[in-house]
């Protein structure tokens, strides 16, 4: 499926030129630590790096770190930095920078907050070594440091402290590209970092060997997918991302275009308000699960069958370490009788259920339009409210405003990093059973594969019994590029190191 | 009424046909549930984007829903909105116009505000209003009515200004009749014709405005079909499912064209002098123009022309 | 005349004030706010509140209104929250596509409307005239965005003559630039042509009934000369009024057409700013648009007064 290496595939790699990318949305910030937006990440991860990062197989490996050791009791992690690392401003990367960055991450990022519940202390053993002391064992620590969501990027101490809890404005990192300029609404420009110290391993993903062939990368926000595609066909852009699957036929017909179908991309979920309203009752959430016909919902969202997949997992099948099929007997098992029975049992009296969706992401509202009649068939009275993205974002932070909203979840790499398990994330999931299972996971040694598999199954079983979110299905992404681009390999967001252009 | 219809058929056969078309559209909209159509929101993912054929005379949309059915049901919403706008803007415009035409001081203030409102191109103002008030049929009606009532007000004001000076009004004043009676009985009754004509055109503009707003996503939302939001959905399927783009648009054009034709004919029949003028002996006119006899007004010619409601689409 | 002009300019002020207040109040009634959009979906309430204060969005409404007016009078329309640049800059950047589209659409419209309007007046009540009136009626009855969609289907898809959508800057080549504007210009022009043509016809009919035309004809002047020399010029004046309105319409951003063809013009800017709750931009653009409209109308009025000697003030 994916080539294991990030090395240039065919032809002679050449330096120089500029890669031109048509994206679908404008980022609002480039601070990969504070924002979970993909529009942010796909630019930011060229500029910033963390101690650890995921490889082509979604497993965490060292990036800025040389390696690490753990004490026997699992409470002390010693992480050594690679030698000779420098920031884009010429400063050397030291343990102080790491500590300041991680402290910020612990406050700002959901995964960081979860991790820092266990962290007792951070200290610099010497300028090249950091020691993390835990109050209780937390085996996902290293994984968490490598999570691509709200990543633990390392920035200079002074910058981290100046930014505090606000998004970073000074964009100084260690990555293969340097942030050059941003003309909002028009383009984002990155320039090659001539002093980049690359690793040598062929791990792929976000770590391993990264060579910046192109002099510059230009990102252009082009919101209309037909225009994006047209631009790649004419050579105005080299690659266009986030194309609706309905355009695939057009792509296939053009011999100069290559299509990349990204399978580990996103899964659509129906998020319940568990703090207020009818869905505080688990039975009603289960009723919705029983009223869903997932194939119809996915077809509405993603069109042709080649672009989606029904799968019960919290994670994607390609993520071997954490993939589980527990709950498959409840997932995609539409049963209107059971749904109605649950409604009766829970004493549902016809209260209006507010379902929020947005047309700003077409798949979002399309899913809602199929979900609503399915819920109505089960006996729910539904009020479907469509908002633009900013209004929906604002309303979903207020428990009195909605009962359900729809969203897409990009890949997580560890159950402790799953965003909707967080207690303060919209939906407000509080569950002792899940807390206990996650705590167990946090204690299980990384090498105890069998034990971890059992805990993962347990976590997923709870997920399907308590239904904090009803999973719809895995949606694939469509990226298209032309014959100017070489060496490109797909991942859940675009990366342009180890890639070159001929014009 | 009967005499009017006969006159219409005899002298303006095309407009009479248009009236027939309008009647048909209205009937279809009213009787929609009884017409034996496929349910407009029945989803059939397996049959999505099917071309016109047996079972679906106009094809299906991206959810597999029957387009014919949705086009007919859309009529209910669009006509309702058009009617609402017409009623609201006529009522508001008449009130303001009468007051402004009759009372000098009201006129000064009212004209400033009306001028201010008319300084916005229709769509922009409607956009901002709907964005502020929120989406939904009621708010849409309010927004579009707010955009178009100044034009009605100006026309009523113009008529009031003229009629105010006529002998029978002077007589009424001399007889001691109350302002209210004068305004309603004497002035309004004589200003009725241009008002009715204007209302027809406002109805047409409202349908276009609704289509535009829906297309931008600010009208009544799916799954409730409106011609505009169907076109919004159809936008990216121009290549793959052109029927999806064609039919809702045809419905809009038929309705608006018919309304304009009828409005034109109404005006011609009601005011033979202006009609003769339009046919080649005099003043400016045309659908959606003000009712003024433009020759009477001199610089007012420009006012009459600027009284033109611009189309909501640009 | 100068006094008239000055008087008209002064009369603009209260109108613009009304416009400004209306716009400001409108925008602030919209739910949702820019701070949460900037920070993204997973920001905490605390972060959002912090940013909101930093942006000045939490001060009382009347304070914000007064401050805004102060700035506007100084020519400062504020700073776009999203684009991080002055609103005036944002408007300027987006003016190009709208201006090009306007010029092209109006040009096409006039090229078609003026001759046909005059011709229809000359041949009034013939089949040509009736057909003409029907076309005019169609022009104002068909939504321009639907015309646009059909044009795309025909000339960008079925026959790959023009691009489906998108704007190419003239710097990248005059040919591609024009190609990207033709279809939207035709879509817009069709409606505008209808308006202008009707007025041209009616004005010409008016003029042709005048005495001086009869005189010219009886003096033996040939009909084509009558039309071009005498009728056209005099019919131009009332026609110009409609052109003025039409231009202002177009310039203010043919909102929907820009959406269909994805042209980064003023209309597009407004629509996007509304969905991003970028208050300063929405206010600035709507104010700008109203200003343009008012100024163009003023210009037309003055021109009208200057050209038509019968009108005195």
Query: Of B112, B124, B252, which is closest to C286 when you measure between CB atoms?
Result: B124
pLDDT given at position B239: 78
Phi, psi of C299 (to 5 degrees): -55, -45
Distance between CA atoms of residues B10 and B4, nearest Å: 10
Phi, psi (degrees; rounded to nearest 5) at A385: -115, 130
Residue A127, domain member (yes or no): yes
Q: Which residues of C touch A185 (CB under 8 A)?
A: 83, 90, 93, 264
User: Which candidate from B119, B298, B301 shows the least CB-CB separation from C293?
Assistant: B119
| A226 has a chain B CB within 8 A of its CB | yes
Chains B and C: how many Cβ contacts under 8 Å?
190
Q: Is A359 on the interface with B (CB under 8 A)?
A: yes
With CB atoms and an 8 Å threshold, state whether C45 touches A425: no
Residues of chain A found within 8 Å of residue C176, distances taken between Cβ atoms: none
Closest CA of chain A from B142, distance in Å: 20
Q: Would the CB atoms of C22 and B117 count as touching at under 8 Å? A: yes
Residue A242 in domain: no
**A404-409 vs A187-192, strand pairing mode:** unpaired
Q: How far is CA C12 from CA A51, B101, C17, C295, in A?
A: 63, 21, 9, 9
Across the interface, whether the CB atoms of A225 and B236 are under 8 A apart is answered yes
Residues comprising chain B, all counted: 314
Q: DSSP letter string over B49-103?
A: TPPSBTTBTT-B-TTS-BHHHHHHHHHHHHHHHHHHHHHHHHHHHHHHHHHHHH-
The residue of C27, C34, C44, C183 whose CB has the most chain A CBs within 10 angstroms, and thus the best one to mutate to test that interface, is C44
Query: B76 CA to chain A: closest CA distance, Å?
Result: 20
Q: How many Å apart are CA A170 and CA C51, to the nearest integer?
A: 17
Least Cα separation, residue C136 to chain B (angstroms): 10
Residue A478 DSSP SS3: strand
Nearest to A411 by CA among A25, A1, A23, A36: A36
CB contact under 8 A, B115 and C136: no
Q: How many residues does chain C have?
A: 313
Distance CA B132, CA B118 (A): 19
Q: How far is B166 from chain C (nearest CA, A)?
A: 25
Cα(A223)–Cα(A360) distance, integer angstroms? 10
| Chain B residue numbers touching C282 (CB-CB < 8 A) | 128
CA C301 from centroid of its chain's CA atoms: 17
Number of Cβ pairs closer than 8 Å across A and C?
A: 95
Answer whether residue A235 is part of any domain.
no
Residue A276 shares a structural domain with residue A321: yes
* Contact between A499 and A9 (Cβ < 8 Å): no
Interface test with chain B among C11, C122, C141, by most B beta carbons within 10 Å: C141
Same domain, A442 and A493: no
What is the number of other CB atoms lying within 10 angstroms of the CB of residue C207? 22
A488 and A414 within one domain:
no
Cα(B138)–Cα(B147) distance, integer angstroms: 14
Beta strands A76-81 and A119-126, pairing class: unpaired
* Contact at CB, B215 and C238, closer than 8 angstroms: no
Contacts of B135 in chain A (CB under 8 A): 386
User: What is the spatial distance between Cα A479 and Cα A492, in angstroms, rounded to a whole number?
Assistant: 10
Mutate to test the interface with A, among C27, C31, C36 (most CBs of A within 10 A): C36
Q: Same domain for A157 and A292?
A: no
Q: What is the per-residue DSSP string for A39-80?
A: HHHHHHHHH--BSEEE-TTS-EEESSEEEEEE-TTS-EEEEE
pLDDT tens digits, residue range C244-259?
778 766 765 578 898 8
Q: Confirm whether A237 is domain-assigned.
A: no
- Is C264 near chain A, with CB under 8 Å? yes
- Same-domain status, A489 and A373: no
- Helix/strand/coil percentages in chain B, nearest 5: 75, 0, 25
Map residue B72 onto helix, strand or coil: helix
Q: How many domains does chain A have?
A: 2
| Cβ–Cβ < 8 Å for B291, B162 | no
Q: For B235-244, how does the pLDDT look when each residue is reduced to its tens digit (9 = 90+)?
A: 888 878 889 9
Residues from chain C contacting residue A184 (CB–CB below 8 Å)? 80, 82-85
- Beta strand pairing status for A129-134 and A177-183? unpaired
How much is the ipTM here? 0.80
Among chain C residues, CA nearest to A35: C40
Q: What is the pLDDT along chain A (503 residues), one digit of tens a residue?
A: 233 333 344 568 889 899 999 998 777 789 999 887 788 899 999 999 999 999 998 899 999 999 999 999 989 999 999 999 999 999 999 999 999 999 999 988 888 888 999 999 999 999 999 999 999 999 999 999 999 988 999 999 999 999 988 888 899 999 999 999 988 777 899 999 999 999 999 999 999 999 999 999 999 988 778 888 888 988 889 999 888 888 888 888 888 899 999 999 999 999 999 999 999 999 999 999 999 999 999 998 888 888 999 999 999 999 988 999 999 999 999 999 999 999 999 999 999 999 999 877 778 888 999 999 999 999 999 998 887 776 677 788 888 889 999 998 988 899 988 888 888 788 999 999 999 999 999 989 888 899 999 999 999 999 999 999 999 999 998 999 999 999 999 898 899 999 999 97
Chains interfacing with C (3 or more CB pairs < 8 Å): A, B
In a shared domain, residues A171 and A298: no
Contact B238 C143 (CB under 8 A): no
Q: Whole-prediction pTM value? A: 0.80
Cα of B185 to nearest chain C Cα, Å? 33
User: If residue A368 lies in a helix (H) or strand (E), which one and from where to where?
Assistant: helix A362-378
Identify the helix (H) or strand (E) that includes residue A218. strand A216-221
Q: CA-CA distance, A51 to A66, in Å (whole number)?
A: 9
Beta A500-501 vs A485-486: how paired, if at all?
A: antiparallel
Q: Check if A377 contacts B (Cβ < 8 Å).
A: no
Q: How many CB atoms lie within 10 A of CB B130?
A: 23
Cβ contact A390:C32 at 8 Å:
yes
What values do phi and psi take at A253, rounded to 5?
-70, -15
Tell if the CB–CB gap between B223 and A369 is shorter than 8 Å. Answer: yes
Q: Which structure tokens are listed for B18?
A: 């248009």
Q: In angstroms, how far is CA A223 from the centroid of its own chain?
A: 21
Instruction: Work out the mean pLDDT of chain A and round it to a whole number.
Output: 90
Minimum distance, in Å, between the CA of residue C307 and any CA atom of chain B: 12
| Whether A171 and A63 share a structural domain | yes
For residue A324, the cross-strand partners are: none
Alpha-carbon distance C295 to C275, whole Å?
A: 29
- Note whether residue A245 is domain-resident: no
CB-CB under 8 Å, A165 with C37: no
SS3 string, B229-290, reads HHHHHHHHHCCCCHHHHHHHHHHHHHHHHHHHHHHHHHHHHHCHHHHHHHHHHCCCCCCCCC
Interchain pair B221, A299: CB under 8 A: no
Asked if the structure places residue A243 within a domain, the reply is no
What chain A residue is nearest to C36 in terms of C-alpha separation?
A394
Contact C43 A231 (CB under 8 A): no
Q: How many CA atoms lie within 13 A of B106 on its CB side?
A: 12
Chain A residues with CB-CB distance to C264 below 8 A:
185
- Closest chain B C-alpha to C47 CA, distance in angstroms: 25
pLDDT at C30: 58
Q: From the CA of B64, how many Å to the nearest CA of chain C?
A: 21
Of A150-159, B79-88, B203-212, C158-167, give the lowest mean pLDDT range.
Answer: C158-167
CATH number at residue A358: 3.10.105.10
In a domain, A239, yes or no: no
Cross-chain Cβ contact C164/A185 below 8 Å: no
Q: Which residues pair with A92 in a beta bridge?
A: A86
Residues in chain C closer than 8 A to A166 (CB atoms)? 47, 50-51
Residue A206 tokens read as: 């976000």
Least confident of B213-217, B243-247, C187-191, C207-211: C207-211
pLDDT at B284 exceeding the cut of 50: no
Q: How far is B114 from chain A (nearest CA, A)?
A: 31
**pLDDT above 60: residue B295:** no
The string over A297-336, giving b where at least 16 C-beta atoms fall within 10 Å of a residue's C-beta and e elsewhere, is bbbbbbbeeebbbebbbbbbeebebbbbebbeebbbebee
Collapsing DSSP states into helix, strand and coil, what is residue A220? strand
C160 touches chain A (CB under 8 A): no
- C165 in contact with B at a CB cutoff of 8 Å? no
Residue count of chain A, please give it. 503
Nearest to B231 among C146, C199, C254 (CB): C146
Looking at the fold, whether A65 and A169 belong to one and the same domain comes out as yes
If asked whether residues A187 and A39 sit together in one domain, one would say yes
Query: Residue B303 pLDDT > 50, yes or no?
Result: no
Report the candidate in C209, C201, C184 with the shortest Cα–Cα distance to residue C135.
C201
A210 and A298 inside one domain = no
Contact B43 A384 (CB under 8 A): no
Statement to judge: residues A125 and A159 lie in one domain? yes
Label residue C200 by pLDDT band (50, 70, 90).
confident
Distance CA B140, CA B88 (A): 12
In C49-169 the beta strands, taken as DSSP E runs, fall at none
- Provide the CA A409 distance to its chain's centre, in angstroms: 7
Q: What is the DSSP string of B300-312?
A: HHHHHHHTSPPPS
Q: What are the strands of the beta sheet with A65-70, ordered from one edge?
A: A65-70, A76-81, A129-134, A119-126
Q: State how far the Cα of B116 lies from the Cα of B114, in Å rounded to an integer.
A: 5
Residues of C in contact with B212 (CB under 8 A): 143, 145, 255-256
* A394 interface with B at CB cutoff 8 Å: no
Rounded-to-integer distance, Cα B17 and Cα B105, Å: 46
- Angstrom distance (rounded) from CA A60 to CA A78: 17
A88: in domain: yes
Structural domain including A70 reads 15-220+484-501
Query: Widest CA span of chain C, in angstroms?
Result: 86
Same domain, A301 and A433: yes
């Amino acid at each position: 499926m994916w080539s294991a290496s990030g090395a240039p595939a065919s032809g002679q790699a050449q330096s120089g030129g500029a890669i031109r990318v048509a994206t679908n949305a404008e980022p609002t910030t480039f601070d990969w630590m504070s924002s979970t937006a993909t529009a942010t990440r796909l630019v930011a991860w060229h500029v910033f790096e963390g101690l650890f990062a995921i490889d082509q197989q979604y497993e965490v490996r060292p990036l800025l770190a040389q390696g690490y050791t753990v004490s026997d009791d699992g409470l002390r992690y010693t992480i050594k930095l690679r030698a000779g690392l420098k920031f884009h401003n010429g400063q050397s990367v030291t343990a102080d920078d790491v500590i300041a960055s991680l402290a910020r991450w612990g406050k700002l990022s959901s995964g960081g907050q979860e991790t820092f519940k266990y962290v007792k202390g951070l200290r610099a053993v010497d300028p090249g070594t950091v020691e993390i002391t835990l109050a209780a064992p937390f085996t996902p620590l290293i994984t968490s440091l490598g999570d691509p969501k709200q990543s633990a990027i390392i920035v200079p101490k002074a910058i981290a402290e100046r930014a505090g809890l606000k998004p970073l404005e000074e964009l100084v990192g260690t990555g293969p590209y340097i942030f050059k300029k941003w003309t909002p609404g028009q383009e984002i420009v990155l320039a090659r970092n001539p002093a980049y110290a690359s690793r040598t391993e062929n791990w792929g993903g976000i770590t391993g060997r990264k060579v910046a062939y192109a002099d510059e990368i230009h990102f252009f926000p082009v919101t209309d997918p037909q225009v994006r595609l047209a631009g790649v066909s004419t050579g105005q852009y080299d690659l266009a991302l986030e194309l609706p699957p309905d355009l695939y036929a057009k792509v296939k017909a053009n011999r100069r275009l290559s299509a990349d179908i990204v399978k580990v991309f996103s899964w659509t979920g129906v998020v319940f308000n568990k703090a207020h309203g009818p869905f505080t009752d688990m039975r009603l959430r289960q009723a919705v699960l029983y009223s869903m016909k997932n194939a119809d919902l996915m077809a509405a969202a993603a069109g042709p069958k080649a672009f989606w997949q029904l799968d019960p997992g919290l994670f994607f099948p390609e993520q071997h370490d954490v993939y589980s099929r527990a709950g498959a007997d409840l997932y995609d098992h539409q049963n209107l009788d059971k749904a109605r029975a649950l409604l009766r049992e829970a004493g549902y009296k016809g209260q209006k259920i507010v379902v929020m969706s947005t047309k700003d992401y077409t798949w979002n509202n399309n899913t809602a339009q199929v979900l609503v009649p399915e819920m109505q068939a089960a006996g729910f009275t539904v009020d479907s409210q469509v908002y633009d993205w900013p209004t929906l974002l604002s309303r979903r932070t207020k428990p009195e405003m909605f009962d359900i909203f729809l969203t897409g979840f990009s890949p997580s790499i560890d159950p402790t990093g799953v965003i909707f398990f967080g207690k303060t994330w919209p939906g407000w999931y509080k569950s002792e059973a899940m807390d206990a299972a996650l705590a167990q996971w946090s204690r299980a040694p990384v090498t105890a594969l069998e034990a971890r598999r059992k805990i993962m199954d347990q976590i997923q079983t709870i997920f399907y019994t308590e239904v904090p979110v009803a999973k719809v299905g895995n949606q694939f992404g469509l990226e298209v590029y032309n014959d100017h681009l070489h060496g490109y390999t797909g991942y859940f967001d675009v990366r342009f190191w180890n890639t070159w252009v001929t014009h | 009424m009967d005499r009017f219809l006969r006159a219409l058929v005899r002298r303006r056969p095309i407009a009479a046909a248009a009236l027939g078309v309008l009647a048909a559209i209205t009937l279809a909209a009213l009787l929609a549930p009884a017409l034996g159509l496929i349910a407009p929101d029945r989803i059939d993912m397996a049959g999505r984007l099917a071309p016109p054929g047996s079972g679906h005379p106009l094809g299906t949309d991206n959810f597999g829903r029957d387009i014919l059915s949705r086009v007919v049901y859309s009529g209910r919403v669009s006509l309702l909105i058009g009617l609402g706008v017409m009623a609201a803007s006529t009522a508001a415009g008449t009130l303001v116009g009468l007051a402004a035409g009759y009372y000098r001081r009201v006129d000064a203030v009212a004209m400033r505000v009306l001028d201010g409102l008319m300084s916005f191109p229709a769509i922009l103002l409607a956009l901002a209003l709907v964005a502020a008030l929120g989406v939904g049929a009621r708010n849409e009606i309010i927004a579009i009515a707010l955009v178009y009532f100044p034009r009605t007000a100006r026309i009523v004001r113009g008529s009031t200004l003229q009629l105010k000076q006529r002998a029978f009004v002077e007589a009424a004043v001399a007889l001691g009749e109350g302002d209210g009676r004068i305004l309603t009985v004497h002035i309004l009754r004589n200003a009725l014709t241009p008002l009715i004509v204007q209302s027809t055109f406002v109805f047409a503009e409202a349908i276009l405005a609704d289509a535009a707003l829906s297309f931008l996503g600010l009208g009544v939302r799916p799954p409730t079909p409106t011609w505009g939001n169907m076109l919004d959905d159809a936008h990216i399927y121009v290549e793959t499912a052109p029927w999806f783009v064609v039919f809702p648009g045809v419905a809009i054009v038929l309705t608006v064209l018919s309304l304009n034709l009828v409005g034109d004919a109404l005006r011609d029949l009601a005011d033979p002098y202006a009609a003769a003028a339009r046919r080649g002996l005099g003043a400016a006119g045309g659908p959606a123009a003000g009712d003024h006899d433009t020759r009477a007004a001199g610089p007012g010619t420009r006012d009459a022309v600027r009284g033109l409601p611009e189309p909501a689409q640009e | 005349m100068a006094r008239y002009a000055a008087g008209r300019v002064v009369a603009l002020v209260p109108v613009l004030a009304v416009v400004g207040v209306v716009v400001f109040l409108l925008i602030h009634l919209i739910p949702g706010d820019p701070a949460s959009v900037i920070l993204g979906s997973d920001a905490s309430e605390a972060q959002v509140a912090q940013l909101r204060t930093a942006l000045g969005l939490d001060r009382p409404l009347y304070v914000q209104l007064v401050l805004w007016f102060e700035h506007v009078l100084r020519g400062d329309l504020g700073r776009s929250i999203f684009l991080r640049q002055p609103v005036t800059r944002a408007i300027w950047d987006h003016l190009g596509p709208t201006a090009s589209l306007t010029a092209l659409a109006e040009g096409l419209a006039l090229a078609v409307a003026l001759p046909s309007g005059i011709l229809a007046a000359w041949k009034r009540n013939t089949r040509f005239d009736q057909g003409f009136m029907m076309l005019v009626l169609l022009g104002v009855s068909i939504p321009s965005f639907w015309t646009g969609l059909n044009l795309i289907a025909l000339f960008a898809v079925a026959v790959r003559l023009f691009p489906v959508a998108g704007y190419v800057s003239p710097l990248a080549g005059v040919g591609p630039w024009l190609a990207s504007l033709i279809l939207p210009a035709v879509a817009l022009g069709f409606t505008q042509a209808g308006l202008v043509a009707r007025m041209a016809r009616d004005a010409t009919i008016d003029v042709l009934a005048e005495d001086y035309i009869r005189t010219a004809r009886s003096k033996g002047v040939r009909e084509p000369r009558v039309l071009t020399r005498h009728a056209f010029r005099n019919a131009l004046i009332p026609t110009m009024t409609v052109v003025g309105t039409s231009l202002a319409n177009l310039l203010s951003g043919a909102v929907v057409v820009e959406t269909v063809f994805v042209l980064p013009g003023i209309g597009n800017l407004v629509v996007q700013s509304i969905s991003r709750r970028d208050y300063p931009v929405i206010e600035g653009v709507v104010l700008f648009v109203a200003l343009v409209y008012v100024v163009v109308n003023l210009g037309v009025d003055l021109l009208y007064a200057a050209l038509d000697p019968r009108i005195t003030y």
